A and B are shown apart, each in its own frame.
Chain A
Amino acid sequence: MHPIVATVIQRLFLGIATLFVVSIIIFSSIEMLPGDFGQAVLGQAATEETVAAFRKELGLDKPAYIRYFDWVAGVIQGDLGTSFSGRAASGVDRSRPVAELIAPRLWNTLFLAGMTAIIAVPLALFLGITAALYRNTYYDKIVSASTLTTISFPEFFVAYILILLLTALWPVFPSLANIDVSTPLGERIYRSALPALTLTLVIVAHMMRMTRAAIINLLANPYIQMARLSGATQREVILKHALPNAWAPIATVIAFNLAYLVVGVVVVEVVFVYPGVGQLMVDSVTSRDIPVVQACALIFAITYIFLNLLADIIGIITNPRLLHPK
């Protein structure tokens, strides 16, 4: 077996083991939330009997470890369970499967993350490489200063500034990004432009600075000096000699930021009324809709683990030395 394939398989198993640990953490932290679905849904009208009846109906009266194993067994079989919501006051159970609830939202989130990544990743790489190329020039300073400025502001602030500039003063984009499944692609991109732009401004600095630092770090190495001595131009030195060795840290940082785009953009979703999965999770926590919260948390964990795995693999492929840790 090719050593890379072996490493990938090994990492995959490690990832699954991590997922199990994460599932325990998710389940126990949700157990620690005060109140439950019955209380949250009934609100002012909650009496002890109705809450108890609700608990029984939802199986919340069973001991925690049994509920945990039920959940894990379900997930392994591909069943994320049914949402608690829809059982509010109706006689008939109208709850929806969690998968059906999450799928369109997750698709929206992935769409936004993808759209942002398509803008942000090439932009960050370009800025990072050129900043390294023209290190300590005004260009480098301006790029660093402006990207660091946008990352320093909270997301909602960046979002409102963009709304002010691009919808209020110069109406180019709509401030409501309320897309749905029937929205055609062109319209979808147009409506998602502002959230994608906001997220781009928020994540570019991190990736750009890492690219720049990784390359500059390598420039002090003897083999770079060797390249210089053999007459390579600065551009060749960076693109041909330094960059291939810098991919590992860059990939890690890109993976980290992509994962962030999937799991951490709830503020941007709220500001632009974008129906993503973060918003769904916050709603579900508020209403104590546990199956949905658990499923969201699990999806987030999978996203992190998968993207980190991918970054590791890229790192290993571009730097075979990592296959043989000391």
Chain B
Amino acid sequence: MNKNEFRALQELKYKTGQIDRRTFVRSLLATSIALPTALSIASSVEAATPKRGGLLRVGMGHGSTTDTLDPSTSENGFTLATNYAWSNHLTEVGPDGQLRPELAESYSSSDAKTWVFDLRQGVEFHNGKTMTSEDVIASLQYHMGDESKSAAKGLLTAVTSMKADGPNRVIIELASANADFPFIVSDYHLAIMPVVDGALSVNTGMGTGGYILESFDPGVRAKLKRNPNYWKADSAHFDEVELISIIDVAARQNAMMNGDVDVIDRVDPKTVALLGRAPNLDILELTGTLHYTFPMRLDVAPFDNYDLRMALKYSLKRQELIDKILLGHGALGNDHPISTANRFHASGLEQREFDADKAAFHYKKSGHSGAIQLSSSDAAFAGAVDAAQLIAASAAEAGINIEVVREPKDGYWSNVWNKKGWSACYWGGRPTEDWMFSAAYTNDTEWNDTAWKGTESSAKFNDIVVAARAELDDNKRRDMYAECQRLINDDGGTICPMFANYIIAHSKKVAHGADVASNWDLDGCKISERWWFA
């Protein structure tokens, strides 16, 4: 056993209470670590051990008076974090990005079409009712059917039937195979709610979650207290949680610096360096799935031309965009929507760089002449107009003339995006590859903002996406999704220069696990359940 292994072992023993602090420090001294260092390691191990108690106050850059407790209407980080605090789902995305069972004890399928969810037994809702398959089916059913206006309706269209097999098993049949179905039921809309007197208790904030909702003031705050009966062991450590909507970024950062809140999300990249100098707080930065794109529509000339698209793809200085628009707080995009936070990111795909020669070559081959219009507005993302200007400047080096059209913010999503030939856009990202592709790249979605259909590559792409959906072998899926990413990168209409980071600031008193989820902001919006006061 070498020194590091020994230390790791001792840390584990200390954490789990097998040895006391004195023994732990002595054993570190034995590995020739100096006393002050040993003491500080002991303290950091202590901090890494979750402790119960305290009031967590989270300042969030989201929240509006239009928010409701109905999970089918959740759309911003505030409602996400609130819903994840009072409710559970069949599955959840863990801090390591891997899917794990939550209210389902286990799930399985032999053909990816019939999914069997075995429910955890003895889980109680806040009203004392025991969760059964009836609640699960009613909660999912709520988002289905023609009259449903749930934002999650599209996720469950493939479900043809749901059957209860006793109180603790649900069998779900899909119209077509989908290996990612367990991922889909982790979606924040699909909270499991109780059936009370024959009807689903919606919009009450009643669930099985680690916190019981005390008050909810839309656009202002949500207050929750710990659920003493929480079924999940070693989770939900705070006694109370208060989620506060602080939309103004300066006010949010002020509140953080003055200790009026313990954690804030969406720190301004422009001032994060200054904020980081405050002695009482830490900055946590994670690359998520949020990405900024410049979709070119293949049904609008000249973007139907492969070489022209390629010329434009080569005329972006991606690192410059990250440095100047995201001020360095982002990761390089490779003209496809899959982030390193996703499971099957194609790391083998060569990173596309600015190349004036290649751009000029393809531009010449395309035979296009004259200005190319790029529509942009800060409605797409903060700095989108500046980003478009930077693209125009770098393209000029390759002899391509790009004319930036500044569009009004109002009505941008209805009048410009998905209509004009080339525009700026953002995508919040999706937890699975299939989900992302089905949202914006397959030929059957109306959000296919590149109108990428009809080409040979897109036909191949659509076939692979369908095939991958039915494939249960992860290695094969990895290859298939890598090919999908390559096809979008090569033939697709999207230019995806960058992924934005989630930037969180938190008080030094607050601690989190070694892994922090990046499927959503604030540890997958499950901060109230996963973090604790050191």
Contacts and interface: CB of A to CB of B under 8 A. Distances in A.
A270 B251 contact: yes
B70 A94 contact: yes
Contacts of B65: 83, 85, 101, 280, 283-284, 287, 289, 292
Contacts of B245: 273
A63 interface: no
A225 to B, nearest CB: 55
A41 B149 CA distance: 13
B68 A163 contact: no
B272 to A, nearest CB: 18
B53 interface: no
Interface stretch (B125-133, B253-261, B301-309): B253-261
B148 A91 contact: yes
B221 interface: yes
B348 interface: no
B151 interface: yes
A182 B417 CA distance: 44
B220 A174 contact: no
Interface stretch (A21-29, A43-51, A207-215, A301-309): A43-51
Contact of A34 (B258, B261, B408): B408
Interface residues of A, number: 46
Given A89-B150, A91-B150, A178-B244, A43 B413 contact: yes
A291 B28 CA distance: 67
Contacts of A273: 244-246, 248, 251, 255
A46 B446 CA distance: 10
B66 interface: yes
Given A174-B258, A175-B258, A287 B64 contact: yes
Which label, helix, strand, loop or mixed, suits the secondary structure of the B interface? loop
B72 A180 contact: no
B151 A175 contact: no
A287 B247 CA distance: 15
Interface in A12-61: 33-35, 39, 41-48, 51
A231 to B, nearest CB: 57
B455 interface: no
Which label, helix, strand, loop or mixed, suits the secondary structure of the A interface? loop
Contact of B247 (A51, A86, A175, A270): A270
B268 to A, nearest CB: 15
Interface residues of B, number: 43
A176 interface: yes
Contact of B149 (A34, A89, A283): A89
Interface string A157-185: 00010010001100100111010101000
Nearest to A44: B413
A242 to B, nearest CB: 44
Given A90-B149, A178-B244, A280-B65, A168 B75 contact: no
B134 to A, nearest CB: 20
Nearest to B153: A89
A123 interface: no
A193 to B, nearest CB: 13
Contact of A90 (B59, B70, B413): B70
Contacts of A171: 258
B251 A89 contact: no
B73 A88 contact: yes
B204 to A, nearest CB: 12
B276 interface: no
Interface in A75-93: 83, 85-86, 88-92
B255 A45 contact: no
Given A89-B73, A273-B246, A273-B248, A283 B258 contact: no
Given A174-B260, A175-B260, A88 B66 contact: yes
Interface string B58-92: 01000011101010110100000000000000000
Nearest to A182: B215
Contacts of A174: 258, 260
A51 B414 CA distance: 9
B75 to A, nearest CB: 7
A160 B250 CA distance: 9
Given A270-B251, A271-B250, A283-B65, A46 B261 contact: no
B157 interface: no
Contact of A35 (B220, B246, B254, B411): B411
A45 B417 CA distance: 10
B219 interface: yes
B73 A39 contact: no
A33 B411 CA distance: 11
Given A39-B411, A89-B149, A178-B220, A271 B244 contact: no
- Interface centre among B248, B251, B257, B260, by most chain A C-beta atoms within 10 angstroms, is B251
Contact of B413 (A39, A272, A283): A39
Given A35-B410, A46-B414, A178-B221, A89 B151 contact: yes
A90 B251 contact: no
A275 interface: yes
B18 interface: no
A33 B410 CA distance: 9
A41 B410 contact: no
Nearest to B71: A90
Contacts of B410: 33-35, 39
Contacts of B411: 34-35, 39
Interface in B399-439: 408, 410-411, 413-414, 417, 425
Interface in A230-257: none
Contacts of B43: none
Nearest to B427: A44
Contacts of A167: 254, 258, 260
A92 B250 CA distance: 37
B498 to A, nearest CB: 18
A35 B414 CA distance: 9
Contacts of B151: 89
B66 A176 contact: no
A170 to B, nearest CB: 12
Contacts of A101: 65
A105 to B, nearest CB: 9
A180 B203 contact: no
Contact of B215 (A85, A94, A180): A180
Nearest to B143: A91
A287 B66 contact: yes
A191 B247 CA distance: 19
B149 A272 contact: no
Contact of A86 (B68, B217, B413, B425): B68
Given A89-B150, A271-B248, A47 B446 contact: yes
- Interface centre among A44, A94, A160, A174, by most chain B C-beta atoms within 10 angstroms, is A44
B447 interface: yes
B147 interface: yes
A160 B254 CA distance: 9
Given A273-B246, A273-B255, A289 B66 contact: yes
Contacts of B260: 167, 174-176
Contact of A272 (B68, B203, B251, B425): B251
A43 to B, nearest CB: 5
Contacts of B70: 90, 94
A163 B408 CA distance: 35
13 contacts: A39-B413, A86-B66, A86-B68, A91-B150, A176-B251, A176-B255, A180-B221, A273-B248, A275-B217, A275-B220, A287-B65, A289-B65, A289-B66
Given A86-B66, A91-B72, A273-B245, 12 more contacts: A39-B411, A44-B417, A45-B413, A86-B73, A88-B68, A90-B149, A160-B254, A176-B244, A176-B255, A178-B221, A178-B246, A283-B64
